[in-house]
Structure 1
Amino acid sequence: MKAAPDVTTPTAYLAALPPERKAALTTLHRAIRQAVPKLKPGMCHGMIGYGIGPYKTKSGCSGEWFKVGLANQKNNLALYICSVDADSRYLVEREAHRLGKVSCGKSCIRFKKLEQLDLDVALELVKEAATLPMLGV
C-alpha cells in the first residue's frame, strides 16, 4: 500500500502504521540505517527508500528508484533489494534459499512477521547492494 500523500518522511510513514507492523518495520529501518548509513532514507513511490537516485534502462525508461526499500503492503511486509551482482543475478533471487520462511521475487522479500526473515542474511544483501550500481543504470 502506498503511503498517503501527506506522508513525506520515513518517520511519518512508520508512525502511521498499525502497531504490529510499525514495530517490525521500525526494527528493519533501524537495522538498515545502521548497516548502510551512506544510503540516506527518504520517500519514493509511497515507500521508504534508501539510496534513492535516478535510473535509466537500456530501453530508455527513466525515473527515480531506490537501492533498498521498505513497504507495508496489504497482505505482508516487504523489503526490496534492487541490485544485481557482477553476473547480472538479482541479489534476492540468488539468495532466496537463505532468507527464511519468506516469499521472494527478483528483488522483493515478502513476509508477514519479522521473525520469518533471516535478518542477518537480509542485511548482508543490503550491504552488498550499497556497493553496487542502481538497477537499470
Structure 2
Amino acid sequence: MQFEASSIEEYFSIIPEDRVIPMKKLRETILSNLPEGFEEMLNYGMIGFVVPHSLYPAGYHCDPKLPVPFMGIASQKRFIAVYHMGIYADPNLLEWFVGEYPKHSKLKLDMGKSCIRFKKTDQIPYELIGQLSGKMTVQAWIDLYESKLKP
C-alpha cells in the first residue's frame, strides 16, 4: 500500500490515525541512530533513508535518477513495515538481527528478505530498530551495494 504524499508531514497526515505515533517514533529512532551521510526522503511511497546522489552520483541501478535506498518505513494495509536493505545483502547482519530479536520482543519475528513486519504497533522493538539503524555506515553500504546488489 503506497500513500501519495508530497512531504513527510503530508504522509503522516494521510496514514491511519492509529499508525501516526508508532510511525513517528520509528522515524525518530532511525534518525537518531542512522550514521551520518544518509538522507531522509519520500521514496517508493514511504519514508526512506537513502544514499544521496552527492555521495553516490550513479544512483540506484534500477533507476539511476533515484538515490540508492537503504532503509524505509511504511504504513501498510495490515502492518507497519521497516525495510532494511543491509539485512537483505549482508548475511552476518541478518544473523545478528534474527538472534537479537527474541531479546527485544516476545512475538514471533515476521520478516521477508528486507522487510520486517509489525502487526501489533504497541510491540515494536524500537531499541532494536535503533541498533539496526546504526550498524552500517554510508560507505559500508555503498561497498556492499557495489559488491552484491549492483549488476
TM-score (norm 1): 0.78
Q: Which residue of 2 aligns with 1:72?
A: 75
- Match of 1:49, as an amino acid? G
* CA RMSD across the alignment: 2.5
Q: Which residue of 2 aligns with 1:8?
A: 6
Q: 2:46, 2:94 → 1: CA distance?
A: 18
TM-score (norm 2): 0.72
Larger radius of gyration: 2
1:129 positional shift: 3.3
**Kindly tell me: are residues 130 and 21 of structure 1, through their superposed partners in 2, closer, same or farther at Cα, counting changes over 3 Å?**
farther
1:103 positional shift: 0.5
Q: Displaced runs of 4+ in structure 1, greater than 4 A?
A: none
Alignment of 1:42-121 (within 5 A): 42-53=41-52, 54-56=59-61, 61-63=62-64, 64=66, 65-84=68-87, 88-89=90-91, 91-92=93-94, 94-99=96-101, 100=105, 101=107, 102-121=109-128
State whether residues 35 and 136 of structure 2, in contact with CA within 8 Å, keep that contact through their aligned partners in structure 1.
Answer: no
- Match of 2:48, as an amino acid? G
1:95 positional shift: 1.5
Q: Which runs of 5 or more structure 1 residues have no equivalent in the other structure? A: none
Q: Which runs of 5 or more structure 2 residues have no equivalent in the other structure? A: 53-58
The alignment of Structure 1 onto Structure 2 pairs a total of residues equal to: 130
**Structure richer in strand, relative to its length:** 1
